[in-house]
Amino acid sequence: MSDSFYLKILAMNKVLYEGKAQSVIFPAPDGEFQIMAHHENVVVALNEGTARIKTEDTGEWIDAVVGAGLVNVDNGIVTLLADSAEWPGDLERARALEAMERAKEELRQDSSIQEYNATRATLARAMVRLSKPLNAPLE
């Protein structure tokens, strides 16, 4: 008997993960809920937070940030439906992009030399963050 199951994590606008997993742990209203291979059929509410996936291929845990939704287990297929789902590195990238856009807009505004220099420093930090690989830690 296989010790894995098929897992699909869906957000409103994308498929975040699709593949075999050994385990998935996610936030539920009563605390964390874990699903492993051969779990009985069930539908569970999903709270916002971090879902942890133990992949079949590497056996390592990976994290995903999920919004509210539900999790359905049906005949060995687990579907996690969330209003949003992101990899943590993508969230950092999105924040860096937002910071960069805010800094660019502030540079277009009339400001003092001190404000201008502070905004340029913010822009430089955002650009450095965006130049790093997705999984690299950001300062």
Q: What is the rounded CA–CA span in Å between residue 100 and residue 84?
A: 23
CATH of 5-86, one of 2.60.15.10, 3.40.50.300, 3.30.1330.30, 1.10.150.170: 2.60.15.10
Question: pTM value?
Answer: 0.67
Sorted by where each begins, the domain ranges of the chain are 5-86, 88-131
- Cα–Cα dist 9/50, whole Å: 12
pLDDT tens per residue across span 83-129: 888 887 776 777 777 877 888 887 777 667 777 777 776 776 666 66
- SS3 for 2? coil
